[in-house]
Amino acid sequence: MRSTFAAAAVLASTASGQLYPDQSPYNHTCELQNPLLSCPPQNSSLVDSCCVETFGGLVLSTQFWSTYTGGEQAGQLLPQDTWTLHGLWPDFCSGLYTSYCDLTRQYDPIPSPNTTTGKPDGVPVPAYNGSNIGTFLEPFGKYDLLEYMNNYWIAQNQDNAGFWGHEFSKHATCFSTFNVPCYGPQYRKHEEVVDFFETAIQYYKRFPTFDWLEEVDITPSNCTTYSYEAIRDPLVEQHGGLPFIGCTGPRYNTTEAGKNSTDNGYTVLSEVWYYEYVYGRPQEMNTIPVNASATYYTNCAKAEGAIHYPERTNGSVRVPTLPY
């Protein structure tokens, strides 16, 4: 869906373990650093890049609406009446982004794209074949976190932990503020993985998409359809910025309902991305909402009543074992 890659992707990891060449030399006592806003970008020679996001300052909290997981037999089910967590992404302030920024922390069993730039000349991203990233939480005793993730951070056509590894290695390694040096000389292996998962969840909890839509009577239905504006407006009102609203399924003008239309947007609601700038570390949740790009804020059809918000498949859903 997103296809803009920045040249910075080739900077990947260096021998020093630094995320990118101009990581700041400061000692990461964030109480001593003004919690500056992440966009427009701050200069990492002048601020502590562990305490202010200086690399991926446009933070996206992303969620899915899907109707099945493909892992139902193994008990991988969707949480009733709740969108699922997709990730927390650090875009550049320009809206471009890069991925797989530190191949020493590559825990994604199915890298996508399979090179750091998404192009044949990029650095290959090797498939990870070690213990899944969920096991990294065990030495920290974070079984509650694991349980939460197995309720709300749900993969499709892949096991949940493989998907968490994908989100971490593709995206989290591109934040300046989750970089290993930020944790100081007493760093415990995978500490930043725990920190990232907890942070992604904090953002997710802040944006209860299902409830926001339900409050205006937009609920999953295999009988009714909805208009783009009707879905957009409550989300803008609650969040404060225009989110990206993503759809899949057939294009409207290939469907019976849209036969003579020139609207070729997609018709099945599937994703929402909320955009934020962040003061200080993203972990502190001190954010301001921003609008999605004026040139890419939806791929859904805009014709009246063009969008399906499908009910989930019977047998793909469970009542969560712990609260949202």
Ligand X SMILES: *[C@@H]1O[C@H](CO)[C@@H](O)[C@H](O)[C@H]1NC(C)=O
Interface residues with ligand X (CB under 6 A) are 26-27, 43, 45-46, 67, 114-115, 124, 126, 129, 222, 240-242, 253-254, 259-260, 262, 264, 289-291, 310-311, 313-314
Q: Assess whether 167 carries a catalytic annotation.
A: yes
The catalytic residue among 53, 167, 192, 271 is 167
Q: How far is the CB of 316 from ligand X (least distance, A)?
A: 8
Nearer residue to ligand X within complex by CB, 142 or 312: 312
29 vs 322, which CB is nearer to ligand X?
29
Query: Considering Cα of 209, then 278, then 52, then 30, what sign does the dihedral take?
Result: negative
From the candidates 171, 190, 239, 308, give the one annotated as an active-site residue. Answer: 171
Report the alpha-carbon distance of residue 190 to residue 128 in Å, rounded. 15
Of 323, 254, 273, which Cα lies nearest the Cα of 59?
Answer: 273
Across the strands, what pairs with 197? none
Measured from the CB atom, the residue of 99 and 115 that comes closer to ligand X is 115
- Cβ-Cβ contacts under 8 Å for 237 (sequence gap 6 or more): none
Which tokens belong to 64? Answer: 């899915």
Q: 145 or 288: whose CB is closer to ligand X?
A: 288
Query: What's the full length of the chain, in residues?
Result: 324
Minimum Å gap between C-beta 74 and ligand X is 19
86 is annotated as an active-site residue: yes
SS3 (DSSP) at 210: helix
Active site residue 308: no
Least Å from the CB of residue 268 to ligand X: 7
Least Å from the CB of residue 258 to ligand X: 7
Q: What are the φ/ψ torsions at residue 146 (nearest 5 degrees)?
A: -60, -45
| DSSP class of 310 | P
Catalytically active residues, by annotation: 86, 167, 171
